[in-house]
A and B are shown apart, each in its own frame.
Chain A
């Protein structure tokens, strides 16, 4: 049994406007499962549907929950995770990561991507590991950097 076995990870998805988000999230679920970590995806309705349609048999993803409900549960101390990966491509994503930094005890990682990744990453001023790349359509630059923040 490894030290990550039985742990949980939250993948907090942002607006699915940037294409890399869905495939990187499914890839990350696979990597987490390989380590015995149960992934839980939280996102908006559209972000959740993109994930669920792409993995209809749920071979990679696990539990999928509403974003607001998830934040409520963590803020009310009803639920928490060992790891939290926040998908960030805009100011809203930074705000969600900032919220998790305050309400959760999870090891927090910001996955920053999109055209303005460098500026967005620079606006993260709270404790949070960050991987940033300007990827928008090709997920590989993000996938390569994910290796640095996997447990």
Chain B
């Protein structure tokens, strides 16, 4: 079981492509960041096509999660530490 499956999350999109997930985040969340694939979030390395877009809403992180057989899910999970880590990065996009 992956680390992501051990946390509480809400599924925002299911069966979307990585591109659709990135567009959804940019459209619905005013604060978003670009990271490289492999970025460590909730103790897991993110899978995706560079750049991977992550959104922030309050203390929640919105992020794509890819499973080989089931495609990409867009998830929302509470993570104030992850939010702080993202905000500390210099690549703030919006």
A residues with CB within 8 A of B: 14-15, 17, 43-44, 46-47, 67-68, 71-72, 74-75, 90-96, 98-99, 101-103, 123, 125-126
| B84 CB → nearest A CB, Å | 21
A113 vs B9: C-alpha distance when bound (angstroms): 33
Q: In the complex, how many residue pairs between chain A and chain B have their CB atoms under 8 Å apart? A: 75
Evaluate contact between B71 and A92: CB separation under 8 angstroms.
yes
A71 vs B2: C-alpha distance when bound (angstroms): 12
Partner of B68, one of A44, A74, A75: A44
Enumerate chain B residues within 8 angstroms of A67, measured Cβ to Cβ. Answer: 68
B residues with CB within 8 A of A: 2, 17-19, 36-38, 40, 44-50, 64, 66-72
Evaluate contact between A15 and B69: CB separation under 8 angstroms.
yes
Enumerate chain A residues within 8 angstroms of B68, measured Cβ to Cβ. Answer: 14-15, 43-44, 47, 67, 92-93, 96
| Further contacts, 7 of them, CB under 8 A, given A91-B18, A98-B48 | A68-B2, A92-B47, A95-B37, A98-B37, A99-B37, A99-B46, A123-B19
Evaluate contact between A17 and B18: CB separation under 8 angstroms.
no
A22 vs B45: C-alpha distance when bound (angstroms): 26
A75 vs B39: C-alpha distance when bound (angstroms): 8
